[in-house]
Structure 1
Amino acid sequence: MDPAVLPWCGLAVLTALCLLLKMQFPWLVNFPKEWTLPLAAQVNAVTDAVVAVVQPAFRALSALLDAPMRGARLALAWLPWPAVMLGVAALAMKSSGVRLAIFALLALAYILLAGYWPQSMNTLALVLLAVPISTGLGFLLGVLGHARPRLRPVLLGALDLMQTVPAFAYLIPLLLLFGFGPVVGLIASAIYATPPMVRNTMLGLDRVPAAISEAGLMSGCTRRQQFWQVEVPTALPQLLVGFNQTTMAALSMVIVAAIIGGFEDIGWEVLSSMRKAEFGQSILSGLVIALLAILIDRLTIGFAREPETGPTRAMQWMTPRRLALSLAFALAFAVAIRLLAPDATLLPETGLRMQMGAVNERLLGVVRDYAWFFNGVRNAVLYCLLLPMRLGISGSATPAMWGFALPPSAVAVYVAVVLALAVLAMRRFGWRAAIAVLAAGLVLYTGFLGLPWPVFILAVALLAGQVAGLRLGLFALAGFALILVNGLWPQLVQSLYLCTLAVLLCLLVGGALGTWAAHSDRASRILKPICDALQTMPQFVFLIPALMFFKVGEFTALIAIMLYAIVPPIRYVEHGLRHVRADVVEAVEQMGATPMQTLLQAKLPLALPVVMLGLNQTIMAALSMLAIAALVGTRDLGQAVYVALGKADAGMGLIAGLSIAFLAILADRLIQAAVRQRTPLP
């Protein structure tokens, strides 16, 4: 017998005891409030003391940053829209050619006609100030991590926290330090957007070939000359990718920034229209953010990466000199317009958003007329998926929910079926598969809420220890214990069940779409722009359609999480299947395998490491949406963060945010370790 199976046998005995005794000892499922520790209050006490000392310095910094922010807003408001369109079209021509230039003109024309031009310029002002701060700070930290390998683990850990802690969590101390206003949104955007630049800087400098560095030394370069004239130019493509990701991260924060300091920008328009249930305006303004995101993404990535087929004729024609002349002409055109018509706004008198009253009524009419359909879908998913995952079969099979109670004979049949499936899994795949079947059967019966917390914590810690080593096992044990003693276990369970269901559905739907795209070039061409649009849209935009049709509730949160997290499985499954070795596939087909057998028995197993990376990204995306989904009525860790933001409770916000970050980091390390185990060494 494999020694690794013995701890699982002991855990199975403990599980049986907990299930038998949980009626006599309710604390096995519901952690008593009397056992919780006042850590949040202690954090608040420390925070209050620190804020009282350092707040004047940070308020002075806030006032210092307020001046350039106002200047950027005034400068962009001063520029007439024809000059802006001309300059952006020239940049798009140089970046990716005629197609992007046409798209840029159409996107800007839509923003103009929709009536959101001033708000969009205010949003760009925030992005234009946040991106240089994030880029400069990220570059310096990336150089530090490259030059000091001993500091890299600490730096990577800090980056993991910055990328996994919800923005709402660190908005609380920012509000206490800087006060309420646009500058807080600027600083929050800069913090959120820094990690991509750090990672890409380290990656770019690490990949500089040793031969190039040695050539620089042999040419007599000093260390400074070698860095700026040899290493940085060589790493420039990767640095530009980091700039692209940093810009997109800053843009994705515009609505969060509006919550804590809106100043008539497009994020504030989206937020206010959602609060007023003006779905027509929310769709219009959400589309503005999506178009801005796609346009900025294509502009920056075009400068970072050349097309696979080489530069187009338009890109070759738009030389740096012609680009500079075009931008100078656009600026001169702007000056001429302002001199000739200094008080003219040149904006349409009534944008589309002013005419959306009829659209709002029509949308509300559709929702009202087809409420039977939307309510039916919501109730079907709620009673057939959400409640069984949360309460389990034992909790859902009641006269109030399913219309019947579960008799003991049905329970016996269920147990027999689960045991039979476990035996079949053990014979075919080994004892690990059998344990997975038993665990799934237990969770399906008790639900996440009915699962004893000692069993869950020990099971995850044991899994982490066996997959990734003792250190990760202890990390899992400590993290769950911290959540438990802070009284956040119910919120943790809600987060786990909602994210688990969203990830499973994303893998099912996204995996099917990715498989289709891998075997059909036409499907790949159709899905690519859809995935691009979903990847570039800010998270809040996904709440609009879900909220419009299904109102508030966990089902709406599930839809929003799925829309945001479904792209990674589509992309990674397609990439993995398309890059399976052709000789292996041909050998399997020559042995007489059907297309389905080839897919299931050859392609998917070989593509599994890539698919697992897609699973990793799906989990990260689902967890990152928890705080955003809290706006539509969830009761999970994201809601705890959002409530803490409303109360300025820095302690609870920090602990709940760190809890989400803990789940993300734990899942990331587990999946990375599993991929390393399945990937053969070269």
Structure 2
Amino acid sequence: MTITAGPLASPRPLASSRVALWAWSGVSLLALLLLALRSELPWTVKWPADLVLPFDSWLDAAMAFVTQHCHRLFRFLAAGLRAVMDGLRWLLLGMPWITATTLAGLVAHSAGGRRLTILTVAACLYIVLFGFWPYTMNTLSLVGVAVPIAIALGFLLGVLGFRHPRFRRGLMPALDVMQTIPSLAYLIPFVLLFGYGPVVGLAASVIFACPPMIRNVILGLEQVPSEVVESGMMAGCTRLQHLFWVRVPAAMPAILIGINQAIMTTLSMVILAAIVGGYDDIGWQLLSTLRKSLFGQSLLAGLVIAIVAIVFDRVGQAFAARRMGVVRSRAERRRRWMIAGLAILASLVLALVVPPLRDYPSGWVLHPAQPLNDAVTWITANYFFVSDAIKNAVLFYFLFPLKIGFEGTVRPSFWGFALTPTVSAIYLAVALAFTLLAWRLGKWRAAAAAVAVFYLYYFGTTGTPWPVFMAAVTLLAWQVGGPRLALFALAGMAFMLLTGMWQRAMLTVQLCGAAVILSFLIGSAIGIWAAGSDRVSRIVGPICDTLQTMPQFVFLIPILMVFLAGEFSAMLAVLLYAVVPPIRYMESGLRRVPAQSIEAARSLGCTPGQLLWQVKIPLALPEIMLGLNQTIMMALYMVVVAALVGDVGLGQLVYQGVGTANFGEGAGAGIGIALIAMIADGILQALSRRQAAARGLNARLSNDKG
């Protein structure tokens, strides 16, 4: 999934080196001063509670007003949607499973041929054989109602945005905000408006699935070739005819991609909606078994979600790719419809003749969950010391220092020594040595980065005075994106400070930062490997496709099976979800380095290592930065789901808000996560554009993003 907030980072000239050096020196002096006065000025680390603005109360009051005056309207809408959903559920559950499988196979064959048909039929058979058919049909009844509404609403808003530039100027920032607010936060207002139940997931799915549909409709309509537009005008089409007879057919490939993305986001949201209960669907099966630590059952349910998502994704992509292919004749289409009708009729007859083909007998259901549970128990009993050692090493040497700092983490029980003045002096000497080395290798900007790393590791995100953090981020935003981005970053951080979310926000920054560092390093290494080997690329590609189509819940299952709940598990879940962008962008960037640049470097006698680090990576750096940007966005998107297994930052507030219907707390935390995402996105996009402009790659990156 791609989440952007680009308009905030308008291009501005980079600050002069001398001015920037003095500015960063000022931030460093401020950091030293406030650290020296921490005991005298505790409010610089933790904002006083009596100065916190009651923003959550304001949100609760606004929602109470809406609920009081629109209660009957929303309950009437809920009843109508529930009736439609129940009707579709009755139809899906009443249809013989052999007929539904036949229908799904025919759709897959029409989209992608034999191989996609085999995948789809195999997925249906898995669902049937393991007893998940009724739960899956309940899920599809929600998806079947939500997707058409989201597509229609997204198409309407996309056309309005295309036809009316003024409306579009307001629409695009709204889409940026909608795509950075965590998906779970969408459930909170609908719980209050519609009450607990499946309609909450349906309504939230519609709103959450609209942005990708809107963006793809606008993009598709804009990219219609000018000659096609002119031919429609010359034919005398009215504005409405020109839209639906000329532009929409020409833009259909992009629109079909939007429909595919809408289906995937809807499925993801419907699974998350199981948190509010009310429907015995596959999401509820997964969540309930996770809560009971029944890892075998949760793994089987998670595989259902994964394969359904994969089938939807592959079929949608196949239809989008096939749209511009050869048009079949009317006779060919009639023949195919006749064969499809006969196949469906045959399946209905078989279901009447052979009852197990209508309702699969419960006695025939496979139950491998208990052997899986026993295997997990055996692994835990015999190899827990291995997983526990890995977990403790990452926690004590990496996660805890980033949270509370080296000064708060060092204990003789694990580190082997206590924090003494001698240890602090050694740490300072190592930091100075690395800073001087960075200055020599990369000048003062590298030295400033080294200072920031050692500073955060020693004091942690929660121990860093907020004026220092805000000054550093604001200065960085000003340096790469200009005053507009700096003002937005400052305002966003001030909002989190004044509303009392600063400490929680720093915990979110710590968890996501740790996951982003590891996922970017691991993903970049895999991407470099795949860029140098076609065989590796062919193996890594399908794995990345599968990871990108899996709903977030699925990533929790193997982690909980091995490492149990906790902060390490939360970080690992975020890491797995965010590892795909660095793989893809690193491989794509390295493979698209101009051949003449590579040949020139080889003619100068570069070794393979020099060719990679001194030629390919510098030229691919703009795309690599875009990969880092998407890694951060996906990490923040996952952080709310990670609250289920151990995150205590803003994600936990969103999760608590859903569980208790506390709109102010949950929505406020969701806004905080969105602000973090938009600030990081603006800074990285501005930096990426600077690097692209410096290397003459603006046109290429613009085409990639389009």
- Report if TM-score (shorter chain) is over 0.5: yes
Equivalent position of 1:579 in the other structure: 592
Shift of the 361–328 alpha-carbon distance from structure 1 to 2, 3 Å rule, reads: same
SS at match of 2:644: helix
Say if 2:662 is the partner of 1:649: yes
* 52-61 or 372-381, which deviates more: 372-381
Aligned partners of 2:330 and 2:622: how far apart in 1?
43
Aligned partners of 1:373 and 1:679: how far apart in 2?
44
How far has the Cα of 1:385 moved from its partner? 1.2
Say if 2:170 is the partner of 1:154: yes
* 557-566 or 215-224, which deviates more: 215-224
Residues 48-447 of structure 1: pairs in structure 2 closer than 5 A: 48-306=64-322, 319-333=332-346, 335-336=348-349, 345-350=358-363, 352=365, 354-447=367-460
Aligned partners of 2:668 and 2:159: how far apart in 1?
31
Shift of the 338–586 alpha-carbon distance from structure 1 to 2, 3 Å rule, reads: same
* 369-378 or 416-425, which deviates more: 416-425
Aligned partners of 1:518 and 1:352: how far apart in 2?
44
Equivalent position of 1:524 in the other structure: 537
SS at match of 2:568: helix
* Letter aligned with residue 380 of structure 1: A
* Letter aligned with residue 444 of structure 1: Y
How far has the Cα of 1:236 moved from its partner? 0.5
Say if 2:643 is the partner of 1:627: no
Aligned partners of 1:617 and 1:240: how far apart in 2?
23
Aligned partners of 1:615 and 1:660: how far apart in 2?
17
Shift of the 330–66 alpha-carbon distance from structure 1 to 2, 3 Å rule, reads: farther
Shift of the 343–82 alpha-carbon distance from structure 1 to 2, 3 Å rule, reads: closer
* Letter aligned with residue 89 of structure 2: R
Q: Give CA-to-partner distance per residue, 1:299-338, whole Å, 9 cap, x none.
A: 1110001499x889xx999953344234423443455456
Q: Give CA-to-partner distance per residue, 1:477-505, whole Å, 9 cap, x none.
A: 11111111222112111110110110010
Equivalent position of 2:489 in the other structure: 476
Equivalent position of 2:9 in the other structure: none
* Letter aligned with residue 381 of structure 1: V
Q: Give CA-to-partner distance per residue, 1:442-487, whole Å, 9 cap, x none.
A: 1111111211111001111111122112121111111111111222
* Letter aligned with residue 573 of structure 2: A
Shift of the 67–338 alpha-carbon distance from structure 1 to 2, 3 Å rule, reads: farther
Aligned partners of 1:595 and 1:244: how far apart in 2?
41
- Higher relative contact order structure (alpha carbons within 8 Å, sequence separation ≥ 6): 2
Aligned partners of 2:332 and 2:601: how far apart in 1?
51
Q: Give CA-to-partner distance per residue, 1:634-657, whole Å, 9 cap, x none.
A: 211000111122221111111100
Aligned partners of 2:438 and 2:388: how far apart in 1?
38
Shift of the 353–36 alpha-carbon distance from structure 1 to 2, 3 Å rule, reads: farther
Contact 2:102 2:344 in 1 (8 A): no
Equivalent position of 1:460 in the other structure: 473
Contact 1:284 1:353 in 2 (8 A): no
Shift of the 382–317 alpha-carbon distance from structure 1 to 2, 3 Å rule, reads: farther
Aligned partners of 1:356 and 1:399: how far apart in 2?
43
Aligned partners of 2:241 and 2:548: how far apart in 1?
39
Contact 1:637 1:656 in 2 (8 A): yes
Contact 1:91 1:323 in 2 (8 A): no
Say if 2:578 is the partner of 1:562: no
Aligned partners of 2:692 and 2:331: how far apart in 1?
45
* Letter aligned with residue 53 of structure 1: H
* Letter aligned with residue 566 of structure 1: V
Contact 1:94 1:318 in 2 (8 A): no
Contact 1:79 1:334 in 2 (8 A): no
How far has the Cα of 1:10 moved from its partner? 1.6
Shift of the 336–437 alpha-carbon distance from structure 1 to 2, 3 Å rule, reads: same
How far has the Cα of 1:351 moved from its partner? 5.5
Say if 2:526 is the partner of 1:510: no
Shift of the 477–121 alpha-carbon distance from structure 1 to 2, 3 Å rule, reads: same
Contact 1:115 1:348 in 2 (8 A): no
* Letter aligned with residue 57 of structure 2: A
How far has the Cα of 1:284 moved from its partner? 0.6
Shift of the 511–635 alpha-carbon distance from structure 1 to 2, 3 Å rule, reads: same
* 538-547 or 100-109, which deviates more: 100-109
Aligned partners of 2:675 and 2:228: how far apart in 1?
40
SS at match of 1:202: helix
The equivalent position to 2:37 in structure 1, one of 17, 21, 29, is 21
* 409-418 or 218-227, which deviates more: 409-418
Aligned partners of 1:508 and 1:307: how far apart in 2?
38
Contact 2:95 2:358 in 1 (8 A): no
SS at match of 1:370: helix
Aligned partners of 2:26 and 2:375: how far apart in 1?
61
How far has the Cα of 1:209 moved from its partner? 1.8
Aligned partners of 2:335 and 2:177: how far apart in 1?
44
Contact 2:197 2:278 in 1 (8 A): yes
SS at match of 1:679: helix
How far has the Cα of 1:408 moved from its partner? 2.5
Equivalent position of 1:9 in the other structure: 25
How far has the Cα of 1:561 moved from its partner? 0.7
How far has the Cα of 1:434 moved from its partner? 2.0
Contact 2:136 2:282 in 1 (8 A): yes
Q: Give CA-to-partner distance per residue, 1:109-129, whole Å, 9 cap, x none.
A: 111111111111111111111
Percent identity over paired residues = 48
Shift of the 351–414 alpha-carbon distance from structure 1 to 2, 3 Å rule, reads: farther
Aligned partners of 2:525 and 2:103: how far apart in 1?
42
Contact 1:616 1:671 in 2 (8 A): yes
The equivalent position to 1:494 in structure 2, one of 507, 527, 534, is 507
* Letter aligned with residue 151 of structure 2: T
Q: Give CA-to-partner distance per residue, 1:348-371, whole Å, 9 cap, x none.
A: 323656452333233223222222
Equivalent position of 2:3 in the other structure: none
How far has the Cα of 1:407 moved from its partner? 3.1
Q: Give CA-to-partner distance per residue, 1:34-72, whole Å, 9 cap, x none.
A: 221212112212221221111110000000111110111
Aligned partners of 2:326 and 2:394: how far apart in 1?
49
* Letter aligned with residue 517 of structure 2: L
